[in-house]
Chain A
Amino acid sequence: NAGVTQTPKFRVLKTGQSMTLLCAQDMNHEYMYWYRQDPGMGLRLIHYSVGEGTTAKGEVPDGYNVSRLKKQNFLLGLESAAPSQTSVYFCASSYDDVNYGYTFGSGTRLTVV
């Protein structure tokens, strides 16, 4: 059981470069989420999706875009990376009732120089 898989696990970008983080889940979950985690800031929700073809903004959406073309995949894009986007990014998924809890991926550590 793979659960939630995030790729890549580590990445270093130069300011202004673009990249896409991929989140894939094999649990047939309806909802998917992208969080960033910074020291002392807890988890902050970037974007989320409540089903294939849908996306919604979270607390800190600026500078990021997302797409959910397939139910099992949720992509997070950085069009023009900035040093402030240096962070650890976590993807999570859940059934269409979050009260069963989330399943998290192992994270992507992104450094923007």
Chain B
Amino acid sequence: AQSVTQPDIHITVSEGASLELRCNYSYGATPYLFWYVQSPGQGLQLLLKYFSGDTLVQGIKGFEAEFKRSQSSFNLRKPSVHWSDAAEYFCAVGEEGAQKLVFGQGTRLTINP
């Protein structure tokens, strides 16, 4: 069965620092991978997605993610975080023909001024 692991429950970074959020998945074939962001009191918004092709994917709000098949990872990065990036981030995985995505447990990001 598919699974998604986000090893970090909570991460704190300083404003202006770089960010990397980890996501590992367990799946046999080529997965479809997503990152969602949930600002406080809001629903989830799609940041970026990977289907195939270039393993470095650009998303909204200056985020990017890199698919590494050898490591079964899809880590989210941002070179310089802003206070408005404080939110919860969810990684999700799908597969061909699936009826639903599988979500990780989420990583809460706190930004120090």
A interface residues with partner B (beta carbon < 8 Å): 4, 31, 33, 40-43, 45, 48, 50, 56, 58, 90, 92, 98-99, 101-107
Contact = CB atoms under 8 A, between A and B. Distances in A.
B4 to A, nearest CB: 10
Contacts of A40: 9, 105
A107 B41 CA distance: 8
A71 to B, nearest CB: 16
Interface of B: 9, 32, 34, 36, 41-46, 49, 51, 90, 94-96, 98-101, 103-106
Contact of B101 (A41, A56, A102, A106): A102
Chain B contact residues: over half helix, strand or loop, or mixed? loop
Contacts of B100: 31, 33, 45, 48, 58, 98
A104 B103 contact: no
Contacts of B42: 106-107
A99 B104 CA distance: 16
B103 A42 contact: yes
Given A42-B90, A43-B103, A105 B43 contact: yes
Contacts of B32: 98-99
Contact of A101 (B46, B98, B105): B46
Given A42-B106, A45-B100, A98-B100, A106 B94 contact: no
Nearest to A35: B103
A103 B46 CA distance: 8
Contacts of A105: 43
